Amino acid sequence: MLPSPVGLENFTETGKKVIGAGLNYRSFAASEKLPLPDEPIIFLKATSSYSRLGEDLQVSATDQVNAEVELGVVIGRPCRRVSEERAGDYVGGYCLALDMTNITLLQRLRAASGPWALAKAFDSACPVSRFIPKEALPEPQNARLWMNVNGQVMQDDSTSGMIFPIARLVSYISHFMTLEPGDVILTGTPAGPCPLHPGDTVECGLGSLVSARFTVTHQQ
């Protein structure tokens, strides 16, 4: 395993892309009664949607906005058309993330056969933790992801439940677009995404390695 490249601690400022993988957990597909995809389902979020886990999270008071806890993969080296076998060499580290989705808007866009961007890339739609060097998470495909809302367990699963593991995602995406240092791949969410409302208290974590607690407020 190559060591984490230096300079990735400020990945939210230096990275150019946030790439999401949709429908990438078996438990989520089962809970929604959806067939498993044959290939990764990929979408983009704007880097302007970054916020810090632990800060107050603003959501719409009228639309349904869901929170999805995810493992984020931070790219460490320029990566183009790499094999799955070599994909790990291009991972610089990880972060804990929430993929926020405006479900009300998403349903309206889907009904019109429109793209997902506005429902996925709004301001504060991607809260992330500090950078986690990959040496600190030696088994990223066997890590616990969890989220509690108002003290109730909503999500609690292992990254082993991914349909397409990290190496597959990195390789697949790199065959379409060059991945650059600081770019983040959101690797999908397990069963249990739930709507957040102003006044909610949310806790989430990646095993015991990193966790965050924050309050949901009205969107300004």
CA pair distance 125, 98, nearest whole angstrom: 8
Helix (H, G, I), strand (E, B) or coil at 65: strand
Distance CA 151, CA 117 (A): 31
- DSSP codes, 120-180: HSSTT-EEE---EEGGG-S-GGG-EEEEEETTEEEEEEEGGGBSS-HHHHHHHHHTTS-B-
pLDDT of residue 4: 60
Residue 3's pLDDT is: 57
Low-confidence stretches of the chain (pLDDT beneath 70): 1-6
Q: State the Cα–Cα distance between residues 215 and 124, nearest whole angstrom.
A: 13
- pLDDT for 185 equals 98
What residue type is 52 in one-letter code? Answer: R
> What are the helix (H) ranges across the chain?
11-14, 26-31, 103-111, 117-120, 166-174
Model pLDDT, residue 61: 84
**pTM reported for the whole predicted model:** 0.95
Residue found under tokens 């970054």 = 50
